[in-house]
Amino acid sequence: MSEKTKGQELCEELSYKRRNYFEVASEEEKQAIFDYAEGYKAFLDAAKTEREATQRSVELARGAGFTEYHFGDPLKAGDKKYFVNRGKSVVVFRVGSLPLEEDGLRIIASHIDAPRVDIKQNPLYEDSGMAFLKTHYYGGIKKYQWTAIPLALHGVVILKDGTKVEIRVGEEAGDPVFYINDLLPHLGGEQMSGSASKLIEGEQLNVLVGGLPYADGEVKDRIKLTVLSVLKEKYGMCEEDFLSAELSAVPAFPARDVGFDRALIGAYGHDDRVCAYPALTAVLWNETPHTVLAMLVDKEEIGSEGNTGIQSKVYEDLMEEISIALGANFRKVRAASKCLSSDVTAAFDPNFAGVYEKMNAAILSCGTAMCKFTGARGKSGSNDANAEFIGEVRKMFAEEGVVWQTAELGKVDIGGGGTVAKFVANLNIDTVDLGVPVISMHAPWEVISKADLYSNYKAFLAFMK
């Protein structure tokens, strides 16, 4: 091998180079990357809604020896707890040995809701040989992407007597699935010449749920009646029970490896389970001297609102309750706390290169991506983390050999997005965004790299060290 020139040496010493994690990982670590992805795929399939993600997280927590926590319970170092908020959000936490007022809480915040198509409160009708459910979509979707694919129905119905019935149809082999109609290209000339945002309008996102007329010529809307009779038989519900139901149509596809080399995973709802699962497993599976919390919250996709979104006081109350139980001053505790707000970012896509600024876009497989700021139009609505805190986190990652990168979501003034970061930061907690780059974010089926998934997990381990 020839000697390096002085310039080459200087280049190595002074220049920043992003690294592809697959390329720099040892054989052993590469195996760990692929092994970890298997558990993640299973989690995705079990947890397509925030309710299911909460349920599955609680099961995993119990399996790891965590027990349920309620406000007012005593706490001591070494305790492993989970806290459920209304069945739609869960916080798993470990009480550490370090003094809370000086060390603060180490928080990883991710969300477990995902864009989808929600069923309206009075949804069922029949028209021209078909029965449909009316919908109102949830989160930012390209509506046309949700047509002509198999859909599953997930959710709960609260019956007149208060009984809660869980519904999950379209996931098991042999289950029927559901469908949103699209127009055939033969008649789609006018549709295709318009704006893509108008290809399918909100009120056209009607979910096809039946086609068999009830065998009684005396009644009107016989297909609707068949659907109602099946719902009665299976769930004990009548039409009025839709009024107090929370049902969602989600893609019926399972998570699958993508590519000949299986480097990637395609699935519904990587945003943000690809961060929530590493947050959860980091806290469940690893001891730490810090008091750490993985907060898996709801409603991020619609602005983190409501009593299960991160803006709810319940999360602040929980942190305060933990402080009180450990005899610490909450104001001091949160001033000393640190948070990784872990949400996905956009991976640079060469097929749409024009909307990215490549130097500052996340590149697939180069590790979990830190976003100093999110927002839009001059960083509006962004947390914009302090350089000091980023420097601190950067040092943690360097010490643990985490392969990571920084990212900005798209070119300046092209668009933007927000996360839960700013709401946590409002509590006087140092916070920065860190998450996995996603291809086709918010599509019914998104793609991520297994390397970035594992990098995110390793980043959390470094944060907890």
Indicate which single residue of 79, 126, 241, 343 sits in contact with Mn ion (rule: CB under 5 A): 343
Residues 202-241: x where in contact with Mn ion by CB under 5 A, - otherwise, as a string: ----------------------------------------
Place of tokens 């983190």: 304
Taking the complex as a whole, how short is the minimal distance between the CB of residue 102 and Mn ion, in angstroms?
32
Taking the complex as a whole, how short is the minimal distance between the CB of residue 420 and Mn ion, in angstroms?
9
CB-based contact 177:150 (threshold 8 Å): yes
Nearer to Mn ion, 206 or 374 (CB): 374
Nearer to Mn ion, 81 or 270 (CB): 270
Nearer to Mn ion, 133 or 425 (CB): 425
- Complete edge-to-edge strand list for the sheet that includes strand 264-267: 256-258, 264-267, 446-449
Taking the complex as a whole, how short is the minimal distance between the CB of residue 275 and Mn ion, in angstroms?
8
- Complete edge-to-edge strand list for the sheet that includes strand 151-158: 164-169, 151-158, 245-251, 116-127, 130-138, 207-210, 179-180
Taking the complex as a whole, how short is the minimal distance between the CB of residue 300 and Mn ion, in angstroms?
6
Q: Decide: is 50 part of the binding site for Mn ion (CB under 5 A).
A: no
**Gap between the Cα atoms of 139 and 446, Å rounded:** 15
Nearer to Mn ion, 103 or 446 (CB): 446
Taking the complex as a whole, how short is the minimal distance between the CB of residue 111 and Mn ion, in angstroms?
6
**Gap between the Cα atoms of 419 and 422, Å rounded:** 7
Taking the complex as a whole, how short is the minimal distance between the CB of residue 399 and Mn ion, in angstroms?
28
**Gap between the Cα atoms of 368 and 282, Å rounded:** 15
Taking the complex as a whole, how short is the minimal distance between the CB of residue 66 and Mn ion, in angstroms?
25
- Please give the full DSSP string across 303-336, using - where no structure is assigned: TS-TTTBTTSHHHHHHHHHHHHHTT--HHHHHHT
- Choose among 224, 133, 245, 144: nearest CA to 178: 133
Name the one range near Mn ion by CB under 5 A: 41-49, 72-80, 340-348, 368-376: 340-348
Nearer to Mn ion, 79 or 271 (CB): 271
Name the one range near Mn ion by CB under 5 A: 32-40, 83-91, 102-110, 337-345: 337-345
Name the one range near Mn ion by CB under 5 A: 91-99, 164-172, 336-344, 445-453: 336-344
Taking the complex as a whole, how short is the minimal distance between the CB of residue 305 and Mn ion, in angstroms?
14
Name the one range near Mn ion by CB under 5 A: 194-202, 245-253, 280-288, 339-347: 339-347
Nearer to Mn ion, 271 or 430 (CB): 271
**Gap between the Cα atoms of 312 and 82, Å rounded:** 18
Q: How many residues does the chain have?
A: 465
Sites for Mn ion among residues 250-279 (CB under 5 A): 271-272
DSSP designation for 171: S
Sites for Mn ion among residues 122-181 (CB under 5 A): none
Tell me the site size for Mn ion, rule CB under 5 A.
Answer: 3
Nearer to Mn ion, 119 or 438 (CB): 438
3-state secondary structure of 191: helix
Taking the complex as a whole, how short is the minimal distance between the CB of residue 367 and Mn ion, in angstroms?
18
Name the one range near Mn ion by CB under 5 A: 19-27, 141-149, 261-269, 335-343: 335-343
Token output for 160: 């007149």
Give the H/E segment covering residue 35. helix 27-46
How far out from the chain centre does Cα 255 lie?
14
Nearer to Mn ion, 71 or 352 (CB): 352
Identify how many contiguous H helices and E strands the chain contains and give both numbers.
13, 21
Name the one range near Mn ion by CB under 5 A: 20-28, 72-80, 198-206, 342-350: 342-350
How far out from the chain centre does Cα 95 lie?
25
CB-based contact 135:249 (threshold 8 Å): yes
Taking the complex as a whole, how short is the minimal distance between the CB of residue 78 and Mn ion, in angstroms?
33
Sites for Mn ion among residues 270-329 (CB under 5 A): 271-272
Token output for 405: 């990168």
Taking the complex as a whole, how short is the minimal distance between the CB of residue 276 and Mn ion, in angstroms?
10
Nearer to Mn ion, 403 or 420 (CB): 420
Taking the complex as a whole, how short is the minimal distance between the CB of residue 316 and Mn ion, in angstroms?
21
Nearer to Mn ion, 207 or 297 (CB): 297
Nearer to Mn ion, 293 or 346 (CB): 346
Name the one range near Mn ion by CB under 5 A: 101-109, 170-178, 314-322, 338-346: 338-346
Token output for 305: 């609102």
Residues 6+ apart with CB under 8 A from 177: 150, 151, 152, 169, 170, 252
Nearer to Mn ion, 248 or 323 (CB): 248
**Gap between the Cα atoms of 344 and 342, Å rounded:** 7
- State the helix-helix crossing angle for 27-46 and 50-63, rounded to 10 degrees: 120
**Gap between the Cα atoms of 242 and 46, Å rounded:** 24
**Gap between the Cα atoms of 416 and 413, Å rounded:** 8
What residue ranges bind Mn ion (CB under 5 A)? 271-272, 343
